[in-house]
Amino acid sequence: MPIELKMPALSPTMEEGTLARWLVKEGDKVSSGDLLAEIETDKATMEFEAVDEGIVTQILVAEGTDGVKVGAVIAMIQGEDDAAPAPKAVAASTPAPVANIPAPIVSSPVNEPPAHPKMADLAKNDRIKASPLAKRIAVNKGLDLTSVAGTGPNGRIVKADVEALDGDSRSTVAAITFNAGPRAEAPMAKPVAISTDIPHEVVKLSNMRKTIARRLTESKQQVPHIYLTVDVRLDALLKLRGELNASLESRGIKLSVNDMLIKALGLALIQVPKCNVSFAGDNMLQYSRADISVAVSVPTGLITPIVTDAANKSLSKISSEVAELAARAKDGKLQPHEYQGGTASISNMGMMGIKQFDAVINPPQAMILAVGAGEKRPYIVDDALAIATVMSVTGSFDHRAIDGADGAMFMKVFKELVEKPLGLVA
């Protein structure tokens, strides 16, 4: 029987996407794992692979179409065992006939850890909804698919889901993102129609910009923010950075101040675990690992690639990872597991001369650190007035999960780590 190929949910925040380019045409034979299309999500452009084998009989949504809802039928595939009808051309303007089909819902509760069968049994378990390619990759890598939320059609696990796995803890983060439960959606104000005689042009919002607008509005409406600011002296950190860069020059590594602050943030979260949490309704998730989301500006908006386990990585490793992730973020080439999740965020505007600012929390995280510019200021050093390099750092905390005293302790620990930076290389 004909198989409906539906618009996949390629990220937890994706509600619609742009079908950027078809990689197949009507009449083509496809096998499981073949690439079918390029889809622009709210964060990146990703490839969509086939799950079933057969012949593409109809392409229902033309490439370049914006606003294709998750779950909408975008093409039809005829199984190899069925008599395939002649391909039927569809006008480019024809909308998907089932555009309001809801995205697949993953219902596993976040507070119940999934069972993990032996890998020897995994390959034989036909009840796992996964493409043959995804199963082969999982078996080769020794990965457990039982706790994976598939992003393929009807929740099927596909190649990208398997490649996104990073051990059992990654599955937990994915479950948090997908299964936070019914969320009280704040009513979004309708856009105000603007009439103006001022010369202007109308700029269409990208999917990323639409998502940023929605998520930050929800964050400010639903998350009670508390802001705590400290002034941090940078002289010792800058001196250590210079010495480390001199020793790392032969390896082509150059540490930035931000690399060292990422490490300090990771260590502070481990030392003050009450701030390494997520609010989840009747529960609170307490993380044992510090995964730091780093705000990176890209042409279409902002994305936050993740440095996993920042507290236990060397400064040189963090520097290399951040450079590589930022480069691929700007090219729109990040995979979902590289920007989904994280336990806290850091946003640094110091390089643009911003002295101090308050950042908006990125749910389901419960805190974000806003870093201002390091500048020469009058400062009390050893009970005497001196000139020191000082930066202002503001932590935004979700007051539902983090008390002011715990947030203050976190800021104190972060300040001490930066002002006595040998602890970053110990």
Q: What burial class does residue 323 get, using C-beta atoms within 10 Å of its C-beta: 0-12 exposed, 13-18 middle, 19+ buried?
A: middle
CA 268/CA 420 separation, integer angstroms: 13
CA 396/CA 383 separation, integer angstroms: 31
Sheet holding 2-6, edge to edge: 2-6, 73-78, 54-59, 29-30
The conformational region for residue 154 under phi > 0 = left, psi -120 to 50 = alpha, else beta, is: left
- 21, 44, 288, 403, 407 from 273: Cα distances, Å: 45, 32, 8, 12, 11
Angle at 309 between CA 307 and CA 315, to 5 degrees: 70
Active-site position among 200, 225, 337, 399: 399
Q: How far is C-alpha 381 from the chain's CA centre?
A: 41
Residue 212's nearest CA partner among 146, 151, 131, 300 is: 300
Angle at 228 between CA 223 and CA 231, to 5 degrees: 150
Q: Which residues contact 248 (CB under 8 A, 6 or more apart)?
A: 254, 255, 316
Angle at 399 between CA 395 and CA 403, to 5 degrees: 85
399: annotated active-site residue = yes
189-223 as b/e: b if 16+ CB within 10 A: eeeeeeeeeeeeeeeeebbbebbbebeeebbeebb
Q: What burial class does residue 407 get, using C-beta atoms within 10 Å of its C-beta: 0-12 exposed, 13-18 middle, 19+ buried?
A: buried
User: Which helix H or strand E contains 303, and what residues bound it?
Assistant: strand 301-303
Angle at 4 between CA 3 and CA 10, to 5 degrees: 125
CA 196/CA 79 separation, integer angstroms: 55
Q: What burial class does residue 378 get, using C-beta atoms within 10 Å of its C-beta: 0-12 exposed, 13-18 middle, 19+ buried?
A: exposed
Q: Which residues contact 91 (CB under 8 A, 6 or more apart)?
A: none
Catalytic site positions: 399
